[in-house]
């Protein structure tokens, strides 16, 4: 008799459940079915634990399985937000001249540099004394104006100099700029779309404002990099 009553109760419950979900619109039906599946698995797990057919740990694991779906849904919803935050995590821009290579992360403000030829070749800029850096600055001012303004930008952004950037150097173009150099300047991999190139260029130009240690030279290089990649 108890088994018959239980069977009738189960059938009545299933009929009510079916009728209820049939009256739901598509937007509400799917979440309802997922919740129903969760409670079904949970009740089966509890029944098997009580009847000695399953260890309590197994029941806990079984109950977590439907919860993974909820985590997945929230993960998908969080993707646009994560994508937004990823914009603040940028790859440093790399500027290269005859004598120097300088990497600037315009988001964090971190700057590094290395001498690639001439005096002190192979040494990092932060490994030189102030006198050595000033000596190089005067050398480059005569021998290579581009290296001069890049080293000056390094000194200003690293806090080693209080002088204003030499904005008299205004190159009209960089026809010899390669695609690889352009990607390095924009801090982008070579696989990005033209739309990403435009976005990166806009982001860098906003961060290179003179109040943030910008210079006409750096701005010109960034502009040239964009032009090189979207022409």
Q: Can you give the CATH number for the domain in which 199 is found? A: 1.10.287.110
How far is 45 from 38, CA to CA, in rounded Å?
Answer: 11
pLDDT tens, the chain, 231 aa long: 566 665 676 677 677 766 776 777 766 776 767 677 666 666 666 666 556 555 554 555 555 555 555 555 555 555 555 454 444 446 899 999 999 999 988 878 889 999 999 989 999 999 999 999 999 999 998 999 889 989 988 888 887 766 665 555 555 555 578 999 999 999 999 989 999 999 999 989 888 765 555 678 888 899 899 999 987
DSSP string across 125-172:
GGGS-HHHHHHHHHHHHHH-HHHHHHHHHHHHHTTS--SPP-TT---S
Q: Is the pTM of this model over 0.85?
A: no
Q: Where in the sequence is the domain holding 169, given as residue range(s)?
A: 93-230
Count of structural domains within the chain? 2
Based on the fold, state whether residues 57 and 119 are members of the same structural domain: no
């Amino acid at each position: 008799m108890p088994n018959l009553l239980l069977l009738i109760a189960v059938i009545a419950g299933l009929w009510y459940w079916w009728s209820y979900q049939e009256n739901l619109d598509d937007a509400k039906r799917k979440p309802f079915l997922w919740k129903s599946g969760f409670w079904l698995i949970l009740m089966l797990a509890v029944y098997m634990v009580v009847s000695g057919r399953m260890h309590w740990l197994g029941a806990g694991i079984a109950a977590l399985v439907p919860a993974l779906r909820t985590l997945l849904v929230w993960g998908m919803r969080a993707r646009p937000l994560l994508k937004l935050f990823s914009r603040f995590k940028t790859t440093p821009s790399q500027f290269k001249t005859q004598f120097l290579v300088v990497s600037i992360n315009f988001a964090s403000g971190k700057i590094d540099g290395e001498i690639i030829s001439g005096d002190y070749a192979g040494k990092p800029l932060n490994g030189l004394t102030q006198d050595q850096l000033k000596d190089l600055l005067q050398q480059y001012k005569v021998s290579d104006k581009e290296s001069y303004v890049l080293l000056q930008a390094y000194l200003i952004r690293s806090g080693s100099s209080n002088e204003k950037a030499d904005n008299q150097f205004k190159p009209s173009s960089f026809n010899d700029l390669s695609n690889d150099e352009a990607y390095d300047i924009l801090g982008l991999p070579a696989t990005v779309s033209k739309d990403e190139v435009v976005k990166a260029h806009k982001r860098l130009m906003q961060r290179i404002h003179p109040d943030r240690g910008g210079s006409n030279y750096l701005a010109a290089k960034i502009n040239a990099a964009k032009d090189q990649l979207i022409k």
